[in-house]
Amino acid sequence: MWSTAEVLRFLLFADLFGMLMLAILFLRQRQLSTLGYVCWGIFALLVPVVGPYVVIAYRPGYPLSED
């Protein structure tokens, strides 16, 4: 049986992973250079709680055209 601390740690890391995936999926829809993807991805990783929200709110690059 898991202890309460283990459950809370699991939920914390699952939430952080979910927010990181949200930022990555959002960045895939933007037209950025490779360096731009890397920099924004690292920012989302290094600032785990607020980083993904800042990436989405800032909207880096241009939307991909639907040609």
Amino acid 67: pLDDT:
61
Kindly tell me if the per-residue pLDDT of 7 is higher than 70. Answer: yes
* Cα 59 → chain centroid: 12
The pLDDT of residue 35: 92
Domain definitions of the chain by residue range? 20-60
The Cα 53–Cα 41 span in angstroms is 12
Question: Distance (Å, rounded) from C-alpha 49 to C-alpha 41?
Answer: 13
Mean pLDDT of 17-37: 85
Tell me the whole-structure pTM to 2 decimals: 0.60
> What is the pLDDT averaged over residues 30-48?
83
Looking at every residue in the chain, the average pLDDT score rounds to: 82
Residue 10, pLDDT above cutoff 90: yes
